[in-house]
Amino acid sequence: MGTTWLTAREQVAWRNFISTVPELTAAFEADLAPHGLTMGDYQVLVYLSEAEDNRLRMCDLADALKLSPSGLTRRLDGMVRQGWVGRAACPGDRRVMYASLTASGRKKIEAAAPDHVASVRRHFIKPLGADGVRSVAECFAAVRSQLDQPQPD
């Protein structure tokens, strides 16, 4: 079977996507930098702040962040040193480790969140407008649904 090449419109959509995402991410990173956070750090704080008891099993946090266990360990090391996140073994099963949001981590995300939301509005929401936001939400729901489907071997 031959390759079905992208149409001109598909090519424009694809190239706009892949060239914009790194710059958009860099803009978000720059707006978090005054808080001493990266997007990766912020994402960890968000997941922990939204979790029951502000803690998650390390394996669940790694899955949510799409990181390997060692990648998560490296991500958390600096956050633990800063006092934003704690790590503790599960009392009932020493093989299970938890990451938890500390009081300092709660203060950090509460201080950064308004600036992050303003950044998302400025760089993402405002340029799209209401119709664009609706379209992007629908488009990425479709992409997410496809990615969530079992892939053939």
Q: Say what the pLDDT of residue 90 is.
A: 85
Residues in the chain: 153
Please give the CATH topology (third level) of the domain spanning 8-148. Arc Repressor Mutant, subunit A (1.10.10)
Structure confidence at residue 150 (pLDDT):
86
The predicted-structure confidence for 120-136, as pLDDT tens digits, reads as follows: 999 999 999 999 999 99
Note if the pTM is more than 0.85: yes
Please count the other Cβ atoms lying within 10 Å of the Cβ belonging to residue 48.
Answer: 25
Give pLDDT, residue 91.
85
Which stretches in the chain have pLDDT values below 70? 153
Q: Would you list the domain boundaries of the chain?
A: 8-148
Identity of the residue numbered 119:
S
Residue 149 CA to residue 117 CA, distance in Å, equals 31
Q: With contact defined as beta carbons under 8 Å apart, do 119 and 28 qualify?
A: yes
Buried b / exposed e across 58-73, counting CB within 10 Å, b at 16+? beebbeeeebeeeebb
pLDDT at 93 (0 to 100): 84
pLDDT of residue 95: 84
* Exposed/middle/buried for residue 145 (C-beta within 10 Å: 0-12, 13-18, 19+): exposed
